[in-house]
Structure 1
Amino acid sequence: MPSPKAPHILCIRFSAMGDVAMTVPVLLALTRQYPELKITVLSKPFFAPFFKGIQNVTFYGADVKQEYKGVCGLFKLYKTLKPKQFTAVADLHNVLRSNVLLSFFRLRGTKNAQTDKGRAEKKALTQQTNKVFKPLKSTHQRYADVFKELGFPVDLKGDEVLPKQKLSNAVYQALGNEPFKWLGIAPFAAHDGKKYPLELLDVLLADLASKKYKIILFGGGTKEQQLLNAFEAKYKNVVNVAGKFSFTEELALISHLDAMLAMDSGNGHMAALFGVPTVTLWGVTHPYLGFAPYMQPEKNQLKADREEYPAIPTSAYGNKVPEGYDKVMHSIKPKTILNRLIQILD
């Protein structure tokens, strides 16, 4: 009799950087516990560096907004993926695009499972009236549940981190060789309700710049680069790396940080991938939604004042800011942030 096919799972996760980064600890745990298992990750080409070097994990980059756009494009992608090689499909996205792609595999009888995004629970947690304020399952666990449904239960132990990556000469030259602790700060996010006010960041930097830290500012886009350049010019131990390095170089730099200060955004998740102590500032969102960086303690989750702003969280992604909630981040004082960072770094 022919031998059974070795298990090979196609793992689908497009979307935002943080969502894709959160798959990494789960895949690390999965491949450790099932060394015979092969995984192919299907995502945006830009995210390939997340998965480099993970045992038994290969990456397939697909541009689903151009080359594989629409139903016809997704069918073309399905054929390109050589569907016979996969014994199962794990849809960690569960949106229209991934559902269409998954339907082609279902038609050929491929075993499959999809993440439960907890949409009803999140709606109850984010509604302004009759809010059900309780912690929801983490996104990492939701991903793990998909593999359990496929027959591969995953135990997330908390030690699933990537090794530090090699720094390029360009990064070394930009940061210098002072014997300082490296503190990353990423003050921006996709939505205004999750960004830390620059005037408060200025207050924080004034205190941090007097200490023996190398403060490394992260951002993206021309406008953010210009805003961060002003802080670099103002404070001697501050370096703005926005727009200066490739994504691979920036990821390697993050892996060498001694601490990261980030918003509810991708930078915090990237730091957590390497076990970097990560302090997250939560504005109109909240860690109860399940998007906290991997295995970061509660004391690293600095939240806006819910007594003053009881509608928090106002949405799952921070794109809804009710009237009167435009200053929620002001309730997280620079002194509070400073004290937590000093506790970590010193």
Structure 2
Amino acid sequence: MAGKPIRLAYLPWILRIPHFTLFSRMQNKIKKILIVRFSSLGDVILTTPVIGALKSQFPQSRIFFLTKAQYGDVLRADPRIFSLIEFDPMQKNKGFSGFMRLVSELRSQDFDLLVDLHANLRSFFVRHLTKSKIKLKYNKHRLSRFLMVHLKFLKTKAIQTVDSYLEILKRIKIYAPEKNPLIFSSQDNVESSDHFLLEQKVKKDDIVVGVHPGARWETKRWDEEKFAQVCQILIEGHNCKILLLGDAEDDELVENISKGVLKPRVIQVLGLPTGRILSLIKRCDCLVTNDSGPMHIAQALQVPVVAIFGPTHPKLGFAPLGSKNVVLCANVKCSPCSLHGEKRCSKKSRFCMDLIEPKMVVEAVEKLLKENEFFLKEA
């Protein structure tokens, strides 16, 4: 141990020097930045304001972003990212040896700034084993969210996830004026989507409403019959064309909703890669969705969103922000009953979802289309 140099990354902890003090001495030397967020789709998208803030502060820096391979498509076209590092736990990085291979690749880079936006066990090892002069980890606010779910009577203050991500940058005196997520669609995906829509006879002046009825957890899914009613009303009342979006495993759900719509103006879109889904949502004039990844995609593409929240509540921090979006929530006493909607409903009825009616969703869509200067055509 004698004579071994002290790692610069540990100096703020050892000497109790605030991060911004060390940072102010190195500000002109920040050339390589690593951002870590492995999953999930929505969370990865919500980190993009951090990308923007860092690129604005260090325009000449090279930003590396580490995420799971399955979410890489959502960041692949981002011009602010120098290198997208994709972690593949199923193949290339499978098991302990595969993970250490990833760590070895990261250690060879010697970063100036590492920003851990995941704060889990995997990112802990990445953070501690990767060389970086300054290391930051975001606060998940676990206690606050636990109280919101399990001790609702305490009236815990809502915390936006984007604010939590940006909060850690304040430690190094970076304040982000822009909090809206931002993602980009590649030209190839845009052209492929345009060709697909042309085949489906969707014209440039058609009003297209995207509908995404799926969600990772079944409790977060609004009733398929109600989705079908919304589609029917928008088609009959305003001559809208409906893009019915879903994952490969949503085929039965999408098919059931399509059968519930009388007029054949529903276009099914199933099992496409994230990049293609992204470009199709970009063409939509509005998206109706449960609390899910596509909700965040639409928000980050500045597509107006009608988001339906039930067992998860907007106050947990994942709801879309801004006047271009409408969040529908019944605000029943038992919600939120879990952080991500994984808990089965223990009530006689899913009041948090059942109290949201198709008329409320249609009125929200009409409001957004009118506010964004889309002329609602009568059928």
Partner amino acid for 2:346? E
RMSD: 2.4
8 Å CA contact retained: 2:35, 2:117: yes
Do the aligned partners of residues 33 and 274 (structure 1) sit closer, same or farther apart at CA in structure 2, a change above 3 Å counting? farther
- What is residue 251 of structure 1 aligned with on the other side? 278
- Is the contact made by 1:75 and 1:104 (CA closer than 8 Å) also made in structure 2? no
1:324 equivalent to 2:343? Answer: no
Q: Which residue is 1:26 aligned to?
A: 50
Q: Are 1:148 and 2:173 counterparts? A: no
Q: Which residue of 1 aligns with 2:270?
A: 242
Verify the 8 A CA contact 2:185 2:278 in the aligned structure 1. Answer: no
Q: Find the counterpart in structure 2 of residue 78 from structure 1.
A: 103
Letter in 1 for 2:182: V
1:60 to 71, 80, 85: 85
- 8 Å contact from structure 1 (residues 167, 253) kept in 2: no
1:157 is aligned, of 155, 178, 201, to 178
Q: Which runs of 5+ in 2 are unaligned?
A: 1-26, 371-379
Q: Which of 189, 209, 216 is the matching residue for 2:215?
A: 189
Q: Normalised by the size of structure 2, how large is the TM-score?
A: 0.81
Cα distance, 1:115 vs structure 2: 1.3
> 1:159 Cα shift?
5.8
Moved more, 188-197 or 155-164: 155-164
2:311 aligned with 1:311: no
Letter of the 2:265 partner, please give it. Answer: N
Q: Conserved in 2, the CA contact under 8 Å of 1:257 and 1:276?
A: yes
Q: Deviations over 1:285-313 (max 9, x none)?
A: 111001112x334971100241xxx1211
1:120 aligns with 2:143: yes
User: What stretches of structure 1 of length at least 5 have no aligned partner?
Assistant: none
Aligned to 1:131, the other structure's residue is in SS state helix
Q: Quick check: 2:35–2:116 contact (8 Å CA) kept in 1?
A: yes
**Counterpart residue identity of residue 201, structure 1:** F
Aligned sequence identity (%): 25
Q: Which amino acid aligns with 2:214?
A: F
User: Which deviates more, 71-80 or 210-219?
Assistant: 71-80
Q: Number of aligned pairs?
A: 334
Asked if 2 retains the 8 angstrom alpha-carbon contact of 1:305 and 1:331, the reply is no
- Aligned residues of 2:220 and 2:341 also touching (Cα < 8 A): yes
Secondary structure of the residue that 2:114 maps to in structure 1?
A: strand
Once the two structures are TM-superposed, the CA of residue 247 in structure 1 deviates from its matched residue by 2.3
Q: SS of the residue aligned with 1:90?
A: strand
Q: How many Å separate the matches in 1 of 2:359 and 2:30?
A: 55
- For 1:339 and 1:60, locate their aligned partners in 2 and report how far apart those are by CA, in whole Å: 42
Of 43, 55, 74, which residue of structure 1 is paired with 2:67?
Answer: 43
1:172 paired with 2:197, answer yes
Summarize deviations over 1:241-286 as a string: whole Å, max 9, x none. 112x332222111112111111111010001111111111001111
SS in 1 for 2:287: strand
